[in-house]
Each structure stands twice: as C-alpha cells, then as structure tokens.
Structure 1
Amino acid sequence: MNSQLFPIGSIVILKEGTKKLMIFGRKQQVETDEVRK
C-alpha cells in the first residue's frame, strides 16, 4: 500500500482551497462489459 495515501474518513483541504473534503474511497470504478468509444 502507498504510504502517501490518507486513511478513509480523513478530512483535507486542497492547496488554495477553502472547502473541506472527506476521503471516502480509492480507485473507485464500475465494472461493466460496455466498450467506450
């Protein structure tokens, strides 16, 4: 596991940002048989 990742549930503020964000998942994707063009 990458040691530079924040734990799920962490509250962060991005550089130059003013709003707080919560980390709630990593590398989320939907598995499908659909082919994108």
Structure 2
Amino acid sequence: RLMAARLAGEEIEPRGPIETEAARRLADDLKDE
C-alpha cells in the first residue's frame, strides 16, 4: 500500500509504528541504491 501510493505520487502519512518503520526501511533502501 505504501509503495503503491508512492508510485502514484501521493504523499501519505504513516499510521502507527508499523507503517512508520516500513517507510523508514523503504527510504533506507532507496538511499542505498
């Protein structure tokens, strides 16, 4: 869901610690590449 929203160009606020952690991991992955 997070990735789909990002690909659609939408900025969504992470809801809860799980989505926050997922967003942080996604940002780290994009930074490493």
Q: Which structure dedicates a bigger proportion of its chain to strand?
A: 1
Q: Which structure dedicates a bigger proportion of its chain to helix?
A: 2
- For normalisation by structure 2, the TM-score amounts to 0.21
- For normalisation by structure 1, the TM-score amounts to 0.21
The structure with the larger Rg is 1
